[in-house]
Chains A and B, each alone.
Chain A
Amino acid sequence: MSEASKRKVGQAGTLESNDVMITVSPGEEGSGISIELTSIVKEQYGDAIQKTLQDVVEEEKCRDIYITIVDRGALDCTIRARLLTALFRAGVVQKKEVI
């Protein structure tokens, strides 16, 4: 079993309005960042949501991660919080790094 496949899947958030549910699965080395987005406002805000997710994973220096996101009209700061929680639960980032 490879090192990457031993890592945990992390999930955070809900499917209530104004919220978002995010699942992160650490991928094999070199697989890069993949995002699968479902959103009630994808047409209007899909790009902005993708950018927020990209920004957070870059700030947290994450590589090789698969992100599934189901958005229910969450604000940018909610998306950030839920992604950080999912990454924290997956053991990808430590709490002190996100202060």
Chain B
Amino acid sequence: MNLRRTMLFIPGNNPGMLQNGGVFGADSVILDLEDAVAPQEKDAARFLVMQALKNVDYGNSEKVVRINPLDTFGAEDIQMIVPCQPDVLLVPKVESVQDIEKVTHLVAQAETAGQQPVQLIALLETSQGIALAYQIAQMKGRLVALALGAEDYTAGLGATRTKEGREIFTARSLVINAAAAAGIQSLDTPFTDANDEAGLYQDTLTGKEMGFKGKLAINPRQIDVIHGVFNPTPATIEWAEEVVQAIRKAESEGSGVASLHGKMVDAPIVARAEHILKLARRLGVEVMQ
């Protein structure tokens, strides 16, 4: 499963930002054809994003394109963008299984022979989408993650959007649980105040503690803060190594349960420790094998 700690939005009609999108170190860049682009500029943004996909070096960042909804410009986006080989399409305002089925069908039609299959991430940003999160998450094949879009969601509810995020607690939980049950990733809504670093840190931490695997970002300045939250700390890595050593020792003595600093170490603790070590290895940190 790809690492998606940060997915950075880049406006699709801004050549300067499109050409520099690869330098910020985000795990994914989202070349945005939807909200960042005025309706009369959709065609221009599509041509720019097509050229960017073919010519700009995004380094290690996964190339994601946020298309428009199918009831506006989505079908045209798919037809023109897919042959340019994005890694993933971020599909906005997904509200039903049929929405993903329709996109899947159009993507399959647009793919050229021999091209890598284009994956999908469903952006859930309406009350209907959140209510059907599990059904949507179960769509097999191309769907690799659910993402929460809290601005549209809370606007639709008539809820007040706060920095603390009490109003999206349930939606966050539903998205995380639906994705986990279906074996795909869950990605948290962006923090929209690019100047509030402390608020971003707290919001990211809340999401991570609830179970999100990454977060959408609206400004390159947000990347380091988000990575700082999702990256394992030296203390966490040390704990994980101790857990794995303890359980290995216990297993060699014929037991499935160990004790570490007076606390029980069993299968779920070991799984968490192994996940931390796996993440650390992927980030280039030397850890025990």
Contact = CB atoms under 8 A, between A and B. Distances in A.
A63 B48 CA distance: 23
Interface in B5-34: 14-16, 18-19
Interface stretch (A1-9, A32-40, A81-89): A81-89
Given A78-B51, A81-B44, A81-B50, A95 B16 contact: no
Interface string A16-50: 11111000000000000000000000000000000
A82 B13 CA distance: 10
A52 B111 CA distance: 27
Contact of B15 (A75, A89, A98): A75
A77 B55 contact: yes
Given A95-B76, A95-B80, A77 B51 contact: yes
Given A89-B43, A95-B76, A99-B80, A81 B48 contact: yes
B55 A76 contact: yes
Q: Which of A85, A88, A98 lies at the interface centre, i.e. has the most chain B CB atoms within 10 A of its CB?
A: A85
Contacts of A89: 43
A83 B163 CA distance: 43
B47 A81 contact: yes
A84 B46 CA distance: 11
Main secondary structure of the interface of B (DSSP, over half): helix
B56 interface: yes
A19 B11 CA distance: 14
B44 A13 contact: yes
A74 interface: yes
B16 A16 contact: yes
Main secondary structure of the interface of A (DSSP, over half): helix
Given A77-B56, A99-B79, A99-B80, A17 B48 contact: no
B102 interface: no
B75 to A, nearest CB: 12
B44 A12 contact: yes
Contacts of A17: 16
Interface string A38-77: 0000000000000000000000000000000000001111
A82 B16 contact: no
A75 B19 contact: yes
A88 B51 contact: no
A88 B55 contact: no
20 contacts: A12-B44, A16-B14, A16-B16, A17-B16, A18-B19, A19-B16, A20-B15, A74-B15, A75-B15, A75-B19, A76-B55, A77-B51, A77-B52, A78-B15, A78-B51, A81-B44, A81-B48, A81-B52, A82-B47, A98-B47
Interface of B: 14-16, 18-19, 43-44, 47-48, 50-52, 54-56, 76, 79-80, 83
